[in-house]
Structure 1
Amino acid sequence: MVTEEMATTPKKKADLKVVIIGDMSVGKSTLIQRYLSGKFQDTLSQTIGAAFFLKQWGPYNIAIWDTAGEEKFSGLSSFYCRNARAAIMAYDISERESFDSLYARHLPLLQQGAEEDCLVIAVGTKLDLVTPNTREVTNEEGEKFAYDANPSRFQDGTRTDLRIPFYETSSVTGENVDNVFTYIFKTLLPLDPEGNPIEPNAARKRSPDVVDLENPSNAGNAGKSSKESERLPPQGKKAGCC
């Protein structure tokens, strides 16, 4: 079985950079914390700039960046998306505006800095609060966004084997949270049942300056190396739920 434990001896470079972007208060940080800790945390404060996490996937180090959702931080968010090979684009299922802003603001920002073939995962949040009366974004709309945001994987018709990268999640119950990250890792850094790389050179596809684990400032964050549970937002600010 593949284990996903914290790296005890981090390599100098991360093998994969993942960013999570979306409007303020859609639950980006709680999604990450639910995945990393297996618990729901509802007392996280607002993310200022970005926060950095390290996750182990087999022999690989994964750098996960949580970005601020406020529009005034748009320039920073674009900067933190630099060289990302995967992006979780999050929206509140019960808040139409947060979904529309993925098209209007966040996807263009991602495209400015991410890798050309960046894998985009559309993630609806707060599923536990959704009722027929409060739902403002349908499953079909979420799937269509994921399809539109991944033209190199779906629109040319050559990758019919891939599941559409779309999930509706709940950080409270944990529904589909693990599936979001597992989808990313299995797609970009596949492992065999023993946890060995299926594509030994997969990590080499990354840009050489994705993130220096000994000096995360190279990827836009002033600070020292981070472990899975450590957060390193700029200017010493605590990052959080937004």
Structure 2
Amino acid sequence: MNSYKLILVGESAVGKTSLVRRYMYNDFMDFHAATIVTSFVSKKFDNFRMDIWDSAGQERFQSLVQMYFRGTQTALVLFSAQDFNSFNQVKYWVNAVREKTGNTDVQIIVVENKIDVENRTTNEAEVNQYCTANNLPYVKVSAKTGEGVEKLFDLVVKRAETVESELKEGQVDVAKTNEKPKKCC
């Protein structure tokens, strides 16, 4: 079974761990410890396994996190609706993903989390302008309520299924080959 690598990146406290928890366990915790370096979970599908890497957003861990970028097929770049500065860092994270993954075809999705809060500081026009200019999908979610989470991960799974299908098309099953060997001489 092939694996598909998904990584979540963004500043500290934007809700990366909460988003993974909502997707994997349909659960939300109001308080939890900050991720140190990275955490990892897997979810099995019919034809592939999705490996989800949840990275630490703290600056002191950014050099360590970059080694986890290698082989990434999809990156979710998160920012918080409560913290406009976290959106300002999206450009850094998008560039880091492009530089460090080693995959020129990496899918990058910009994700605004915490859309359920009342004191949103996000400038939606600016976010849309950035995402349009960089040809990046933009998805709004709430890990707390679950709003938008299924839509987001449907995009990721659809991409993973496409990649898996392309891999299978390029493979030859030697056991099922009906050709008889040609005789020489």
Range into which the TM-score falls when normalised by the shorter chain:
0.7 to 0.9
Q: Does 1:94 align with 2:79?
A: no
- 1:175 deviates by 0.1
Whole-Å separation in 2 of the counterparts to 1:116 and 1:30: 28
Q: What does residue 174 of structure 2 align with?
A: none
Letter in 1 for 2:20: I
Aligned residues: CA RMSD: 2.3
Q: What does residue 128 of structure 2 align with?
A: 143
Maintained 8 Å contact 2:94/2:108 = no
Query: C-alpha deviations, 1:52-104, integer Å up to 9, x for none?
Result: 1101233210111000000111111211111111000000112110000111x
Distance change (3 Å), C-alpha of 1:204 and 1:149: farther
Q: What does residue 46 of structure 2 align with?
A: 58
Letter in 1 for 2:131: A
Distance change (3 Å), C-alpha of 1:169 and 1:87: same
- 1:167 deviates by 1.2
Q: What does residue 114 of structure 2 align with?
A: 126
Distance change (3 Å), C-alpha of 1:61 and 1:138: same
- 1:113 deviates by 1.6
Whole-Å separation in 1 of the counterparts to 2:58 and 2:83: 15
Q: Relative contact order (alpha carbons < 8 A, sep ≥ 6): 1 or 2 greater?
A: 1
Whole-Å separation in 2 of the counterparts to 1:168 and 1:203: 34
Question: Which structure has the greater CA radius of gyration?
Answer: 2
- 1:204 deviates by 7.1
Higher strand share: 2
Whole-Å separation in 1 of the counterparts to 2:8 and 2:168: 21
Q: Does 1:112 align with 2:84?
A: no
Equivalent residue for 1:23, pick from 11, 15, 29:
11
Letter in 2 for 1:111: R
Query: C-alpha deviations, 1:118-171, integer Å up to 9, x for none?
Result: 111111111111x3xx32223333333333444xxxxxxxxxxxxx62111111
Q: TM-score, normalised by structure 2?
A: 0.82
Q: TM-score, normalised by structure 1?
A: 0.64
Q: Which runs of 5+ in 1 are unaligned?
A: 1-10, 151-163, 192-196, 206-242
Letter in 1 for 2:150: D
Letter in 2 for 1:30: S
Whole-Å separation in 2 of the counterparts to 1:168 and 1:44: 22
Whole-Å separation in 2 of the counterparts to 1:33 and 1:189: 22
What is the percentage of aligned positions where both structures have the same residue? 25
Equivalent residue for 1:41, pick from 29, 32, 40:
29
Q: Does 1:170 align with 2:142?
A: yes
Whole-Å separation in 2 of the counterparts to 1:56 and 1:142: 33
Maintained 8 Å contact 1:78/1:112 = no
Maintained 8 Å contact 1:167/1:176 = yes
In structure 2, the residue corresponding to 1:128 is in which secondary structure?
coil
Whole-Å separation in 2 of the counterparts to 1:68 and 1:202: 34
Whole-Å separation in 2 of the counterparts to 1:78 and 1:204: 30
Whole-Å separation in 2 of the counterparts to 1:200 and 1:73: 35
Q: Which runs of 5+ in 2 are unaligned?
A: 172-185
Maintained 8 Å contact 1:90/1:123 = yes
Equivalent residue for 2:63, pick from 68, 75, 83:
75
Higher helix share: 2
